[in-house]
């Protein structure tokens, strides 16, 4: 029976060979300027960064983050319904939803949800 050191050495050699093969086989021979440059929200990174941009892109991102966090907080609230008292759970859930709805109406009245300019 092989000792622990021999098994570890064999595993290390096999994994090293597989990593080297993967790195050699994944090399691209054709380097494209567009594919090798970073994607910066549709802007060309080779030009000046002082160009005007639409604020709607960032508003969409912020609104997405707000509603994504809302879902992440609502799902555990639904799962905790069975193991908690109904009145405190209901008051907490309604207060949380009320704050979110007030925030949504505030964004609506400020014009953040108007997609056309």
pLDDT digits (tens, 9 = 90+) for 72-95: 888 888 888 888 888 988 898 899
* Angle, helix 56-79 to helix 86-110, in steps of 10 degrees: 170
- Domains parsed from the chain with CATH numbers: 4-110 (1.20.58.1610)
Structure tokens at 14: 């096999």
Residue written as token pair 């912020």: 62
pTM for this model (two decimals): 0.46
Residue whose pair of structure tokens reads 């790195």 in the numeric block: 23
Does the pLDDT of residue 3 top 70, yes or no? yes
pLDDT for the residue 53 = 66
Contact 30, 14 (CB under 8 A): no
Question: What is the rounded average pLDDT of the residues 5-23?
Answer: 91
Structure tokens at 38: 């970073």
Predicted pLDDT of residue 36: 63
């Amino acid at each position: 029976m092989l000792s622990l050191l021999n098994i570890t050495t064999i595993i290390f050699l096999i994994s090293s060979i597989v990593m080297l093969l993967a790195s050699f086989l994944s090399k691209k021979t054709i380097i494209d300027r567009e594919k090798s440059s970073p994607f910066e929200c549709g802007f060309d990174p080779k030009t000046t960064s002082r160009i005007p941009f639409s604020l709607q892109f960032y508003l969409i991102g912020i609104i997405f983050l707000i509603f994504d966090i809302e879902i992440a907080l609502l799902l555990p609230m639904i799962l905790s319904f069975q193991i908690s008292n109904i009145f405190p759970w209901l008051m907490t859930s309604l207060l949380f939803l009320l704050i979110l709805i007030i925030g949504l109406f505030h964004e609506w009245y400020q014009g953040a949800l108007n997609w056309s300019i």
